[in-house]
Chains A and B, each alone.
Chain A
Amino acid sequence: MNIAEVRNLKKTYLLGETSVEVLKDISLSFEEGDYAAIMGPSGSGKSTLLNLLGCLDRPSAGTYLLGGIDISRLSDDALSEIRSERIGFVFQSYNLISQLSVIENIEVPLFYQGRSPQECHRRSLELVEMVGLGQRAKHRQGELSGGERQRVAIARALANDPLIILADEPTGNLDSARGKEILNLMDMLNRQGKTIIMVTHEDKVAARAKRIVRLKDGYLEE
């Protein structure tokens, strides 16, 4: 069954007078339990595609079905809700909120779902144990290494039990050993049935995925 499906997706940005067509006709689908790597040179539209898949943006044309819902016509609030319920983000630069502790960071998506404080706390404790940072639950991000930060970010992405996890160069800021740890964690999640879509430009990283989607100049070259 297809969890996410895009058809004839186009994305055009207006830069002053000129419009730039970043994505030019993308049709693509992901099944449940998929593990896809999106590759391509810089400027090929990888990040734009990821943002669209992550419901941070709306396509200029085409449709995007996520879990059976066409999100291309939804309001800003409805998109926020979709992100809150169905999507987990992992970023290259971790993007933890610096004034919050590890556990509080993991609680953020749960908070926006309107869960009770007890529930938020219980779930985030579970997750912090799962990524092996139980000892560091009360620490701030300044006290963590890059690898640890990324593990917190992954725990946060899992908090809402999302349909898909979108990772944007998750190992880009890490050395190869830490990067490997993160990738092992991703593999494990995928084995547990999580759908993962990852943007990367490293072949070694992409090799871990079940399939590779290549983008070039706004087109797919699969």
Chain B
Amino acid sequence: MVSFRIVRMIKLGIKSLILHKLRSALTVLGIIFGVSSVIAMLSIGEGASWEAQKMIRILGSSNIIIKSVKPPDNKNASTGRTFVVEYGLTYDDAKRIASTIPSVKAVVPMRNIRQDMRYRHRLAEGQVIGTVPWYPDISNFRVSRGRFLTFTDMHKSANVCVLGAGIAKKLFAYEDPLGKEIKIGSDYYRVVGIMQNRGGTNARGGSNITVDEYNFNVYIPLTTARRRFGELIVRRQSGSFNMERIQLHQINVRVASPELVPATAKVIQNLLERFHKKKDFKLIIPLELLRQAEQTKRIFNVVLGSIAAISLLVGGIGIMNIMLASVTERTREIGIRRALGAKKKDIVTQFLVETVVLSAGGGLLGVVFGVTIPFLVSHFAKMKTIITPWSLILAFSISAAIGIIFGLYPARKAANMDPIEALRHE
């Protein structure tokens, strides 16, 4: 019995809202903005922490990554001249880190060289990574077929390679890559293994360059890389040569446990600074990335959260304002209903239902917009966003709650009118 009354009230509420379409639409704008920014906020925050967690999964929480960085000053880099810039990590650095710091469990030196790769007429661009056999263990990265590089490969400086999943697909569309020879630079390398796909669930819009690149890596023995490509890298830039001499591009360090990471990072920093006059390296600590992501998330939450709070507040006040006007406008109707037997609580219910229908309708529209905003954000700003069902439920409940909170006062005002006065109202 109660349920049909409520259905009836809702119908009545919708009817009187439709009577003033424009007014109702304008009133709920604030709610729409508020609800959609709540959803956008939560989805961006969720996306950021998902991204950070994925990065950590890939980079390893007990890893430290040291990268060679070109030193910023280069006053003598005059145009037209050719000269060699020498910088970056060295084989000695790798050895020193491995031998002097006790908390270091393993060190993986890497050379990264951009190269074109060919198999027959097929061409793919990717990164050749010269590294050591224990690279997969430290990078939480597995071979899906075949094998990884071995110590024998290292000793013999063998011309073998292991393909990333992306590049394997690109070069070998319908063939089995294992045992085939691909051309990298000017030499041929036999494919001995294929790495697993590292995209994970690369959901729509969530393009992550670092993750994509893993799938376009080709691994060769470090010794081979040194022999075939040397240490001199030549870049042509707008007519001038630009030569760099780099021994190692990257060193991955596995620390015994995640708790030791910050301390070890400090020791490595000090150790390297002693041998590097220029600031030509940088340390990346995956755990630090998570902290940064949390920071971003917090900033987003504060900014969008306050936008949401303000627009919901303004929206709520707008609704209250309109409902107060509506109560005055419908004084006569209230009087009639009271005379015909409506109790105070019937009148409260009627107006409350109307406000809730209004704000929940706005909330529903807000959910629709709120779902599209993250979609646009990830499409244009290349930011990962994740919409969780509970965020939709939360946002919608907030809008309904606003209807109740801001509708209560006008509804009570309507119910507390003297029926005689109300009937006399013109």
Tell me the minimal C-beta distance from A42 to chain B in angstroms.
14
One of B15, B332, B341, B419 near A112 (C-beta < 8 A):
B341
* A114, B339: Cβ atoms closer than 8 Å: no
One of A77, A96, A97, A114 near B5 (C-beta < 8 A):
A114
* B344, A112: Cβ atoms closer than 8 Å: no
In the assembled complex, which residues on chain B have CB atoms less than 8 Å from the CB atom of A51? 420
Please tell me if A72 contacts chain B, counting CB pairs below 8 Å: no
Tell me the minimal C-beta distance from A80 to chain B in angstroms.
4
Please tell me if B343 contacts chain A, counting CB pairs below 8 Å: yes
In the assembled complex, which residues on chain A have CB atoms less than 8 Å from the CB atom of B340? 83-84, 89, 108-109, 112, 156
A113 to B343, CA, bound (A): 10
Residue picked from B1, B343, B420, most chain A C-beta under 10 Å: B343
Please tell me if B333 contacts chain A, counting CB pairs below 8 Å: yes
In the assembled complex, which residues on chain A have CB atoms less than 8 Å from the CB atom of B8? 111, 117
Please tell me if B16 contacts chain A, counting CB pairs below 8 Å: yes
* A99, B423: Cβ atoms closer than 8 Å: no
A98 to B330, CA, bound (A): 10
Please tell me if A124 contacts chain B, counting CB pairs below 8 Å: no
* A80, B341: Cβ atoms closer than 8 Å: yes
In the assembled complex, which residues on chain B have CB atoms less than 8 Å from the CB atom of A99? 15-16, 19
* B346, A54: Cβ atoms closer than 8 Å: no
A108 to B423, CA, bound (A): 16
Tell me the minimal C-beta distance from B373 to chain A in angstroms.
36
* B1, A114: Cβ atoms closer than 8 Å: yes
Tell me the minimal C-beta distance from B75 to chain A in angstroms.
81
Mark out the residues of chain B between 337 and 355 whose CB falls within 8 Å of any chain A CB in the assembled complex. 337-346
In the assembled complex, which residues on chain A have CB atoms less than 8 Å from the CB atom of B333? 97-98
* B339, A85: Cβ atoms closer than 8 Å: no
Mark out the residues of chain B between 83 and 136 whose CB falls within 8 Å of any chain A CB in the assembled complex. none
* A113, B341: Cβ atoms closer than 8 Å: yes
In the assembled complex, which residues on chain A have CB atoms less than 8 Å from the CB atom of B5? 111, 114
Given contacts A97-B333, A99-B15, contact A56 B420 (CB under 8 A): yes
In the assembled complex, which residues on chain B have CB atoms less than 8 Å from the CB atom of A116? 1, 4
One of B4, B15, B16, B339 near A56 (C-beta < 8 A):
B339
A200 to B340, CA, bound (A): 21
In the assembled complex, which residues on chain A have CB atoms less than 8 Å from the CB atom of B335? 95
A112 to B340, CA, bound (A): 8
Name which residue of chain A comes closest to B424, CB basis.
Answer: A47
* B19, A109: Cβ atoms closer than 8 Å: no
Mark out the residues of chain A between 84 and 106 whose CB falls within 8 Å of any chain B CB in the assembled complex. 84-85, 89, 91, 95-99
* A85, B341: Cβ atoms closer than 8 Å: yes
Tell me the minimal C-beta distance from B334 to chain A in angstroms.
10
A212 to B1, CA, bound (A): 43
A116 to B340, CA, bound (A): 17
23 contacts between A and B (CB under 8 A): A51-B420, A54-B339, A56-B420, A57-B420, A77-B343, A77-B345, A80-B338, A80-B341, A89-B340, A91-B423, A95-B332, A95-B335, A95-B336, A97-B333, A108-B336, A109-B340, A109-B341, A112-B341, A112-B342, A113-B341, A116-B1, A156-B340, A160-B341
Chain B interface (Cβ < 8 Å from any Cβ of A):
1, 4-5, 8, 15-16, 19, 332-333, 335-346, 419-420, 423
Chain A interface (Cβ < 8 Å from any Cβ of B):
51, 54, 56-57, 76-77, 80-81, 83-85, 89, 91, 95-99, 108-109, 111-114, 116-117, 156, 160
Extra A-B contacts (11), CB below 8 Å, given A76-B344, A84-B341: A51-B420, A56-B419, A56-B420, A83-B338, A83-B341, A95-B336, A96-B336, A99-B15, A99-B19, A109-B340, A117-B4
